Amino acid sequence: MDNQPEMKPYVIGLDLGGTNSVFGIVDSRGEIKATTAIKTQGYASVADYVKASCTALEVIIDQVGGIDNIKAMGIGAPNANYYKGTIEHAPNLTWAHDTEVPLAQMFSDRIGIPVAITNDANAAAIGEMTYGVARGMKNFIMLTLGTGVGSGIVLNGQVVYGSDGFAGELGHVIMCREHGRTCGCGRKGCLETYCSATGVARTAREMLQTTEEPSLLRELKPEEITSLDVSIAAGRGDILAKRVYEFTGKMLGEACADFAAFASPEAFIFFGGLTKAGSLLMDPIRRGYEESVMPVFKGKAMFLISSLEGASAAVLGASGIGWEL
């Protein structure tokens, strides 16, 4: 056979964050063979950013035996459009502010391998499918619970990008149609306003204000309470703090019940800071789900925490895109 594919053992992953850009060279089992990083900001143009990236990359590419060993590169970044290979109007990136940057093509032109880009939550889903708890799954939904609520949806083994590349914004389904909390997206009642880390802190502040319940959280200044404080208090048995997680988990479970009506996934996988609360959060999610899901879906879906938590998760996620190219 002439056209037997070359077996290139590695892919590059780039976790492009607001502060740092972290690169990793990864093998098919999710082992990071070499890593480097540069600052994301401080470049006059995107061309300068790509140039600095490639200078840093050269070193670690040499460490794994050169570019011939590398199949492709994946980038996880805010406001990324998979179809176009661009970053669009990213408010936190000086060189991609108010414009469309063809980042995938620019990297590809310089390094000479295929490059694709997607948003952080889709990258997390791909990482989970490639190296994590979603290995072998064809239908699952990843929910990232951080400052906001992001999502990556995989159906029929493929990430759902929709008609424009922006599908999978499950943090912005409406959970409260009346008197909902104001969301950063300009609307009211979005899931994200309740079930993100900031939503949890907001719920705690509301409960402290509207009840007389004694709580360890009353020792803190209300405006300084974080989801971590709530989690620590709940771990110490604080009733109000536990109630915050009950409320948050129940709403996430109800949202997942609606997502099941859409996609009937095999699993819901949770990623990000809030999952550190463990069963404090996961038990109410499961209960809220089973109580509110359609009978035909009851007892079918798994509720899992990402197995790629930690500093390297985002790089692994981004690298996972590389295998699909």
**Judged by CB, which is closer to a copy of itself: 216, or 263?**
263
**Judged by CB, which is closer to a copy of itself: 169, or 229?**
169
Q: Strand ranges (DSSP E) for the chain?
A: 10-16, 20-27, 32-39, 70-76, 80-81, 86-88, 100-101, 115-118, 140-145, 149-155, 158-159, 267-271, 302-305
Q: Which residues contact 296 (CB under 8 A, 6 or more apart)?
A: none
CA dihedral 243, 246, 248, 252 (to 10 degrees): -170
Residue that the structure tokens 């459009």 belong to:
81
Q: Count the Cβ atoms, other than its own, within 10 Å of residue 89.
A: 13
H/E stretch holding 261: helix 239-263
**Judged by CB, which is closer to a copy of itself: 13, or 85?**
85
Q: Shortest CA distance to 246 belongs to which of 204, 276, 186? A: 204
Interacting residues with a copy of itself between 179 and 208 (CB under 8 A): 185-187
Smallest gap, in angstroms, from Cβ of residue 78 to a copy of itself?
13
Q: Which of 206, 246, 254, 283 lies at the binding interface for a copy of itself (CB under 8 A)?
A: 254
Q: Which of 47, 262, 278, 279 lies at the binding interface for a copy of itself (CB under 8 A)?
A: 262
Smallest gap, in angstroms, from Cβ of residue 257 to a copy of itself?
7
Q: Count the Cβ atoms, other than its own, within 10 Å of residue 160.
A: 16
Q: Shortest CA distance to 15 belongs to which of 67, 73, 59? A: 73
Q: Does 286 bind a copy of itself (CB under 8 A)?
A: no
Q: Does 94 bind a copy of itself (CB under 8 A)?
A: no
Smallest gap, in angstroms, from Cβ of residue 177 to a copy of itself?
7
Q: Does 295 bind a copy of itself (CB under 8 A)?
A: yes
Total site size for a copy of itself, rule CB under 8 A: 43
Q: Does 318 bind a copy of itself (CB under 8 A)?
A: no
Binding mask 122-151 for a copy of itself (x = CB under 8 A): ----------------xx------------
Q: What is the DSSP letter of 281?
A: H
Smallest gap, in angstroms, from Cβ of residue 199 to a copy of itself?
17
**Judged by CB, which is closer to a copy of itself: 163, or 209?**
163
Smallest gap, in angstroms, from Cβ of residue 271 to a copy of itself?
18
H/E stretch holding 58: helix 46-63
Q: Which of 257, 285, 304, 314 lies at the binding interface for a copy of itself (CB under 8 A)?
A: 257
Using alpha carbons only, give the angle 28, 31, 33 rounded to the nearest 5 degrees: 105
**Judged by CB, which is closer to a copy of itself: 71, or 250?**
250
Amino acid type, 240: L
Q: Which of 258, 283, 290, 324 lies at the binding interface for a copy of itself (CB under 8 A)?
A: 258
Residue 33 tokens, joined: 């063979």
Interacting residues with a copy of itself between 151 and 180 (CB under 8 A): 153, 155-156, 158, 160-170, 172-177
**Judged by CB, which is closer to a copy of itself: 258, or 309?**
258
- Inter-CA distances, 306 with 4, 33, 235, 275, Å: 35, 21, 21, 9
Longest Cα–Cα distance of the chain, Å, equals 76
Q: Does 264 bind a copy of itself (CB under 8 A)?
A: yes
Binding site for a copy of itself (CB under 8 A): 138-139, 153, 155-156, 158, 160-170, 172-177, 185-187, 254, 257-259, 261-266, 292, 294-297, 300-301
